[in-house]
Amino acid sequence: MPNPYISGTGFYVPAREVTNQDLMQYMDTSDEWIRERTGIGARFFADGIGEGPSDLAIPATKQALENAGLTVADIDFIIFATSTPDYYAPGSACLLQDKLGFELIGALDIRVQCSGFLYGLSIAEQYIKTGQFRHILLVGAEVQSSAMNLTTEGRDTAVIFGDGAGAAIISATDEDRGILSTHLHAQGKYAKELWCEVPASGLNPRITPEMLKEKRQYLYMNGREVFRHAIQRFPEVINEALDANGMTTDDVTMVIPHQANYRITQFVQKRMKLPPEKVYSNIHKYGNTTAATIPIALHEVVEQKLIKRGDVIVMAAFGSGFTWASALLKW
Ligand code: ACO
């Protein structure tokens, strides 16, 4: 059976950097409040005039292909994880397929929010193991900025999120390396604790001027509830991956958590008694880019040579749904 491994990574963020000071023009907030509560110093926003997740995915994909030593012609399947697709229909994977001139291969969107990249990784894992595909493009890309209420009313959520894209190529190998296991969970009971209500297909029309006035088009987050669940689920799902492979945190070179909030990451690191340098964080630069955080962080870990061939890494996510997931890899 072929082993699925990550043969290349890439990332991209839009041109416009928005610092905490910049946000102070729109809302009553401060650099100190944002840094203290979230660890975020800046994030990047798309241009707001047509730059969607499929556009952000283009440079990220090109870089991942180059790093894998592959071209678009080598890719057998596209998986696009996003909670903020360019359109209701068709999916962003189809748009990317056209924009980059891929063959007429399958193009699948998945909507699993912050856990999207790891759910996508588990899908890629199965296709590679069964031998159906040899190279799969997995993208996590988001434009969250247009779902932010950039006024004082929306400040608790608006300061957290940013836009960006990360890409990884999952390839088949006969070598002893790659994805050792993936673990997926969801609890839809908490759907409304972190959700974007409209436009909604159950409403006809899907969105009205009244709904816009009521700000129902913006992402709503119950921060305390998210925090409470996240600090429980992250350690749980990391331990699940370790147990499944008969390992402990001592066997792990790097944990790459979804970049939700630095306070959540610190809590998990301390609770799991991990040294801080074993838990990667870049949220200060990009904010929370939802499905894009893990592939962006993974790309940086690879670029900075923080992991080498044979090292064990664990990636873990928690987010809207609620959903949570982990993956354990031998690099
Ligand atoms: N700037 C200044 N003041 C603010 C801001 C802001 N951006 N946002 C809220 N405040 C104010 C509040 O209005 C409140 O003021 P009051 O005391 O006068 O009413 C005060 O700060 C404290 O508000 P709380 O909501 O109690 O702040 P809390 O300490 O809970 O922090 C936060 C809010 C950061 C959202 C916190 O709940 C949290 O970390 N939650 C986790 C949510 C999260 O990180 N989600 C990540 C995205 S989801 C995911 O990826 C899983």
Predicted TM-score (pTM) above 0.85:
yes
Q: List pLDDT tens digits, range 220-241.
A: 999 999 999 999 999 999 999 9
- 289 CA → ligand 1 middle, Å: 17
Segment 22-35 mean pLDDT: 98
**What confidence tier does 143 reach under pLDDT thresholds 50, 70, 90?**
very high
**End residue of a domain, out of 132, 148, 175:** 175
Preceding amide of 295 cis, omega within 30: no
**Structure tokens given for 319:** 């987010």
Helix, strand or coil for residue 145? helix
Mean pLDDT of the chain: 98
Residues spanned by the domain of 140 = 3-175
The pairing of beta strand 194-195 with beta strand 220-221? antiparallel
Same domain for 136 and 16: yes
**End residue of a domain, out of 124, 147, 175:** 175
Q: Whose CA is nearest to atom 44 of ligand 1?
A: 261
Looking up residue 168, the CATH number of its domain turns out to be 3.40.47.10
Question: What is the CB neighbour count within 10 angstroms for residue 313?
Answer: 21
Same domain for 227 and 170: no
- 8 CA → ligand 1 middle, Å: 36
CA atoms within 13 A on the CB side of 66: 9
Same domain for 196 and 51: no
**What confidence tier does 173 reach under pLDDT thresholds 50, 70, 90?**
very high
Same domain for 233 and 148: no
Pocket of ligand 1 (CB under 6 A): 29, 33-34, 37-38, 114, 155-156, 159-160, 194, 221, 223-224, 226-227, 230, 260-261, 263-264, 288, 318-319
Share of the chain above pLDDT 70, in %: 100
Segment 296-300 mean pLDDT: 98
**End residue of a domain, out of 119, 152, 175:** 175
Torsion of CA 191, 195, 201, 207, to 10 degrees: 150
94 is catalytic: no
Among the options 20, 114, 135, 261, which is catalytic?
114
**What confidence tier does 266 reach under pLDDT thresholds 50, 70, 90?**
very high
Q: Where are the alpha helices (DSSP H) in the chain?
A: 20-23, 31-38, 53-68, 92-99, 116-129, 155-158, 209-213, 223-244, 262-271, 283-286, 293-303
Pocket test for ligand 1, best of 156, 259, 262 (most atoms within 8 A of CB): 156
Q: Whose CA is nearest to atom 32 of ligand 1?
A: 223
Same domain for 193 and 168: no
CA-155 nearest atom, ligand 1: 7
CA-230 nearest atom, ligand 1: 51
Same domain for 284 and 196: yes
**What confidence tier does 277 reach under pLDDT thresholds 50, 70, 90?**
very high
136-162 burial string, b = 16+ CB within 10 Å, else e?
A: bbbbbbbbbbebbbbeeebbbbbbbbb
Same domain for 23 and 168: yes
Same domain for 167 and 21: yes
**What confidence tier does 73 reach under pLDDT thresholds 50, 70, 90?**
very high
- C-alpha span between 161 and 220 (Å, rounded): 12
**What confidence tier does 299 reach under pLDDT thresholds 50, 70, 90?**
very high
Same domain for 183 and 168: no
Same domain for 128 and 12: yes
